[in-house]
Structure 1
Amino acid sequence: MKAQILYISHGGGPMPILGDRYHLRMVDFLKGLSTKLKRPDAIVVLSAHWECPKPTLLCAQNPSLLYDYYGFPEEAYQLRYPSPMAVDLANHIASLFEDAVLDDTRGFDHGMFIPLSFLYPDADIPTTQLSLLSSLSSREHWNMGEALRPLLDENILFIGSGFSFHNMRLFFQDDDKQNHAFQEFLINTCTADLPISKREEALVAWQQAPYARYCHPREEHLLPLHVCCALAGEKAELVFDDEILKRRSVGFLWR
């Protein structure tokens, strides 16, 4: 497998780049991670912050940034990440789906530009974003990952940018056994020596996992993991297991 696949917990809005103390470990992880990855020719980001009825790909020649957060200092709205758009790759990916859409107007959201600002601060690697599906169906997102498998032989970095714990009401509270139980479910499902069919079964039925809806009242921050796991077709390496916003969160790498 030439491609590299990464699922990360991307933190709260622009807080990582503003020096928030509850994101320092996450920032250190991202800064160090690029030294462990081979430099990709292109990057594909699946961000929790973009949902469409059909698989949709960004293809604007000069993409803007979407400051899709509010209530932060002015500097959070002056951030820049002038990454070139991977237009040819976006078109290639679109061809893998029966009903894909190309979007030449939308910009990169913070699920892309916040983590990439630490991973590749020079913003010199062509990048595109692939939307989630507004159905939020775990089965459809698993199928999306399978549809991307023809790209595994290419030097692409796929990033599932979400958050393995995402209950907005419970951030900044001390972590608890409920979250730990769910994080252990994710670790066991993604890293154990299991047939791919067992991983598929567990993730498609993720709501049956311990405290699943406690950790994810809405699943958009978890679904990028489904795409990544289905795309890889093999077990992952646990590369992050630490606190973000006082909650245990995990990250996985396939390479």
Structure 2
Amino acid sequence: MADIVFISHGGGPLPLLGDPTHHQLVETLTQITKRLKKPKAIIVVSAHWEAHHVSLTHQEHPGLLYDYYGFPDESYTFKYPCNGLPELAEKIVGTLQKADITTELEDERGLDHGVFVPLMIMYPEADIPCIQVSLVKGLDPDLHIRIGEIIADCVDEDVLIIGSGFSFHNMRAFFTKEDLAHQQMNQSFEDWLMETCSSQNMTEEERRARFQQWQEAPHARYCHPREEHLLPLHVCYGAAARACDSVYSLSILGKQASLYLWSSNI
């Protein structure tokens, strides 16, 4: 099985700028990387790319997409000169199409900050080929679980699959004064999510149903008014099809958030 990680990737380029509300995230990403064998290739599903069909970057040398605004000038000069891996993208596209999932290769779009920001922390040498996979507009949870299942069938244990999103993503709440009621809503959803991902007392049928019906979780729509930052986790679960091996709970931007690891080394 490939190694699989879901990352709460934080706010824009802030993890790279020394922002104190991201210190725990940087430390956690470093810790996770030390637990993983170095992959031969990386596949990242980022919350910041939605397409009409599953789309995959197909360039030999992908550029970067600085898809944020209002940050210091240095935020627009970051480099992450990793190679692409067109042959792996083509293999995944072919397998998805055989499963009647419409898929496209993308030769223009750069890697967005949901990809290059965590990778600059985890693998700063940029010496591992990387491809990015989009979410699909409509944000259907079961479709994204299926995408994860199919990607897992295409890759071997030397590939790292990363879901890059955020377990809490209410933009208004990030800029609203915190109070006990909002803390409790945040924590209730986190508790549900951690149980869903890690419980050994749950059948995979039950776990999958929870992912499919995530809106029924406590305060789900407070934590995710829109679910694009949660669905990379659905892809990760689809690829893993089991409880995660490790849960990392931390504070990012003053909110409780979580990261999840499925490791072939454990």
- Which residue among 170, 173, 193 is the counterpart of 1:186? 193
| Maintained 8 Å contact 2:194/2:247 | no
Pair 1:107 & 2:110 matched:
yes
Offset at residue 146 of structure 1 (A): 1.8
- Which residue among 238, 246, 255 is the counterpart of 1:230? 238
User: 2:31 — aligned with what?
Assistant: 32
Offset at residue 154 of structure 1 (A): 3.4
User: 1:96 — aligned with what?
Assistant: 95
Structure 1 runs not aligned, ≥5 long: none
Distance in 2, Cα, partners of 1:17 & 1:58: 24
Equivalent position amino acid for 1:105 in 2? E
User: 1:143 — aligned with what?
Assistant: 146
Three-state SS of the structure 2 residue aligned to 1:132 is strand
Q: Pick closer, same or farther for the CA change 1:62–1:153 going to 2, 3 Å.
A: closer
TM-score if structure 1 supplies the norm length?
0.97
Distance in 2, Cα, partners of 1:148 & 1:15: 30
User: 1:162 — aligned with what?
Assistant: 165
| Maintained 8 Å contact 1:49/1:111 | yes
Runs (4+) off by over 3 Å: 151-154, 172-175
Higher deviation after alignment, 188-197 or 6-15: 188-197
Pair 1:72 & 2:71 matched:
yes
Pair 1:131 & 2:113 matched:
no
CA RMSD of aligned residues (A): 1.1
Three-state SS of the structure 2 residue aligned to 1:11 is coil
Distance in 1, Cα, partners of 2:54 & 2:174: 30
User: 2:253 — aligned with what?
Assistant: 245
- Which residue among 157, 179, 183 is the counterpart of 1:176? 183
Three-state SS of the structure 2 residue aligned to 1:97 is helix
Equivalent position amino acid for 1:12 in 2? G
Distance in 2, Cα, partners of 1:36 & 1:154: 15
Distance in 2, Cα, partners of 1:196 & 1:17: 37
Higher deviation after alignment, 214-223 or 145-154: 145-154
User: 1:119 — aligned with what?
Assistant: 122
Three-state SS of the structure 2 residue aligned to 1:48 is strand
Aligned positions, number: 254
Higher deviation after alignment, 92-101 or 223-232: 92-101
Residue by residue, what CA displacement relative to the aligned partner does 1:6-31 show, whole Å, maximum 9, x if unpaired?
00100000011011110011011112
| Maintained 8 Å contact 1:68/1:109 | yes
| Maintained 8 Å contact 2:198/2:247 | no
| Maintained 8 Å contact 1:61/1:104 | no
Equivalent position amino acid for 1:59 in 2? H
Q: Percent of pairs identical after alignment?
A: 46
Three-state SS of the structure 2 residue aligned to 1:112 is helix
Distance in 2, Cα, partners of 1:237 & 1:80: 32
- Which residue among 206, 209, 216 is the counterpart of 1:201? 209
Three-state SS of the structure 2 residue aligned to 1:50 is strand
Distance in 2, Cα, partners of 1:154 & 1:97: 19
Structure 2 runs not aligned, ≥5 long: none
| Maintained 8 Å contact 1:187/1:238 | no
Distance in 1, Cα, partners of 2:225 & 2:108: 30
Higher deviation after alignment, 144-153 or 212-221: 144-153
